[in-house]
Amino acid sequence: MVQLTQPGDAGASGRAGASGAVRTMSYAAAAAAALADLMRADASVVALGEDLGRGGIFGQYRGLLEAFGPARVIDTPISEATIAGSAVGMALTGLKPVVEMRVVDFALCAMDEIVNQAAKNRFMFGGQGRVPMVVRMPIGIWSASAAQHSQSLEAWFAHVPGLAVVCPATPQDNYALLKAAVASGDPVAYIEHKELWGLEAEVDASQAVEIGRARIARAGRDLTIVAWSRAVHEAMQAAHTLAGQGIDAEVIDLRTIWPWDRETVEASARRTGRVLVVHEAVQAAGFGAEIVATLAERGVAKLARLGAPRAPVGYSPPLEAQARVTAAKIVEAASKLVGAAR
């Protein structure tokens, strides 16, 4: 398993790059910086949810209350349906709310507001109203958080017409994609990963990222590994191990799963002839099945997918380990796929 740093304050180092100011910061701090930039530039951007006043439970709102005040950084009661419903109303009357659900598991209490109100409004009323609302709902296993705080439910939201689904894997993308999500003018399920909050890397504030555009994280010729969110880091570690075995793997960070970048994935698949789709979510009915089915319909490449077993995430370390999709498991699946295709 790839070891990532724990949540904490981002580094404050910076340099002047060719494209502008570049700072080293954590995944959590990158999101806070993006939201601060958005709020400074646009008075209609507001944030609401539980524990925002203390910076969010992962530090992803740190400093915003002090900078923008309680009228724009709004602490709410513990009622996800109320939070999401209020945000829909705000959005329909001209604001751009960024909604905090704490974890995706809690967003299930707000499904009617997200699925039947936010996602449907533009279509039901002929475009007369839009819901520029971003719902942040962190996914994934967070050590010892057990079955009700460890789910990866991004495929649920990808199934809903009217929602974009964004899954950033790096501090750079968490900065740029949060800005893109708010600017999109439509509801976005913004799905961060709880075990990435402390991950540090350089962030170029001038670098934009388009929703629906994948990133080739590593070029390769023998196999394509498609992943998103934290699974990207496991895939990169697996690619390093595979290289030592003579298998040159290309790694695609999908970034957004709806819309997803079919062109980049298919082009890579045609080059390598083999595709393994990897995600932390349960494999059965996961979004990997959609990607594999799409490529199969086009007759592209040898295909396989890897996800978690269809079982709740256990609290005990051995049970939790069974639910994790690790670099070692990716290496095993990739080796089988390459061997089968030769």
Return d(Cα 5, Cα 282) in angstroms, integer: 24
Return d(Cα 116, Cα 95) in angstroms, integer: 19
The reply to whether 193 belongs to the active site is no
The residue written with tokens 């699925």 in the block is: 115
Instruction: Provide the β-strand partners of residue 97.
Output: 46
Q: Choosing from 149, 193, 233, 279, which is the catalytic residue?
A: 149
Which tokens in the block code for residue 161?
A: 């017409």
Which tokens in the block code for residue 277?
A: 């789709």
**Residue 57, number of CB atoms within 10 A of its CB:** 18
DSSP 107: H
Return d(Cα 171, Cα 177) in angstroms, integer: 10
Which tokens in the block code for residue 163?
A: 């929602």
Are 123 and 162 contacting, i.e. CB atoms less than 8 angstroms apart? yes
Q: What order do you get walking across the sheet with 14-17 strand by strand?
A: 14-17, 20-26, 200-204
Return d(Cα 78, Cα 83) in angstroms, integer: 8
The residue written with tokens 């997803």 in the block is: 260
DSSP 10: P
- Cβ contacts of 65 within 8 Å, gap of 6 or more: 52, 53, 55, 73
**By C-alpha distance, which of 321, 58, 280 is closest to 152?**
280
Active site residues: 149
